[in-house]
Amino acid sequence: MLVKKARIQTFDDWVDVFHQWRDDIGYPTELIGQDYHFETKLGELETEEIEFGHFAGQRKWEKVSEIPDQRIKDALIHLIDYQGDTEFASVEQQR
């Protein structure tokens, strides 16, 4: 069996790969439920500003390129990796 490794960059990519995997192993879709679907659930931001710490009062970063310090980037990536490893199907995981 030849397995093609998919590149997963977004949540939607993961959902597509999951559905392909489910089909490949022959999992009966009716066991999941017809009305069930994966989706991201994000609440509204309370404020557009960083609320505490050294960068308090500045606009929140939306892209990795906006983060001013490599140590902060590394810490955030580390946090995301651990959160993703420990909270399968978590509504809190964001990248």
Which tokens hold the place of 78? 């580390």
State the pLDDT at residue 45: 84
Spatial contact of 92 and 86, defined as CB atoms under 8 Å apart: no
pTM: predicted TM-score of the whole model, two decimal places: 0.45
- Of the chain, the percentage scoring pLDDT greater than 90 comes to 31
List the structure tokens of 23: 């089909």
Q: What is the 3-state secondary structure (H, E, C) of 13-82?
A: HHHHHHHHHHHHCCCCHHHCCCCCCCCCCCCCCCCCECCCCCCCCCECCCCHHHCCCHHHHHHHHHHHHH
What percent of the chain has pLDDT above 70?
Answer: 79
In the block, residue with structure tokens 């964001």: 94
pLDDT at residue 94 tops 60: no
Question: Comparing C-alpha atoms, which of 9, 27, 6 is closest to residue 17?
Answer: 6
The structural domains of the chain, with segments of one domain joined by +, span 9-42, 47-87
**Residues 47-66: tens digit of each pLDDT:** 999 999 999 999 999 898 99
27-36 confidence digits (pLDDT tens): 988 888 777 7
Positive/negative CA dihedral, 24, 89, 13, 75: negative
